[in-house]
Structure formats: C-alpha cells, structure tokens
Amino acid sequence: MRVAPRPALLLALVLVTAGCGDGGRGAPRVAPEFEGIRAALGAKGEIRLAWNAARPAGGVTYHVFRRREGGEYDFGAPLCRTRALTYSDTALTTGIDYFYTVRAERRGSGLDDNDAELSAFAVAVALPEDD
C-alpha cells in the first residue's frame, strides 16, 4: 500500500530541490553594498554625476535615476545603465533643478536600496570661457 506524502514534507522537499528559489546554484545573490551618488555638478549644458564603486566591485551595473523637483523617481526606467563611476546628463533644460539617485545591481541581485540623492542644475553660460 502506497502512502501519499504529507504536504509539509512535500514542501520541504521542493525547497531543498529548488535551492530555495535560486535554481539550485547556492545562496541567493544579494545587492552589492553601495553608498550611492557622491557628486552632482552643474556645468554648461550638462550635469556631471560621480559615485564610488560598490563592494565587492566585480560585475556591478549602476542605474542612474533622475527626477524634477516635485516629481518622483521611476525605478522601473533608469535614465542610464552603466558600469562606469561617472555619468554626464546632457538632456536638460537650463536653470531647472534636477534630482539624481544612483543604485547598484549585480546580475541576479536586484537593485540596492540606498537613498542618497543630490540635486544640481545646468547653466546656460560658463564663466570665464563664455565671457
């Protein structure tokens, strides 16, 4: 006579076989440790952003997000994805405050959740070169 497995035992067997949701490849990946954006500098017709590397640094992609004053970030649609530690935003209107946040992701980990944010605005004239 065959006895059907109990639901709790069956669930435990499924979790062990599946590796707890990571396809059996080991521990699930966690987002890299990242402090976020550290500089936003307004310049003539652009805003230059910079950040320090996430830890551990290998295989990290940085997602740059922008919003205007009073707006919200759309974390589903980054302005840019890059492996560099800088980005220059040139699709701007001069004299408007733009707010930026940068989040790090290691493939398969999802974005980190730092909340560092900086603002800047692009200028139409840069002195002394435009004098």
Which H or E run contains 48? strand 46-51
Number of helices (H), then strands (E), in the chain: 1, 8
The residue type of 12 is A
> How much is the pLDDT for 39?
97
Helix (H, G, I), strand (E, B) or coil at 15: helix
Rounded mean pLDDT, 93-114: 91
* pTM beyond 0.85, yes or no: no
Residue 113 main-chain phi, psi, to 5 deg: -120, 30
Q: Are 102 and 36 in contact (CB under 8 A)?
A: yes
pLDDT band at 27 (very low <50, low <70, confident <90, very high): low
Q: Which residue has the tokens 């017709």?
A: 45
Tokens, residue 83: 């492996």
Q: Name 101's bridge partners.
A: 65
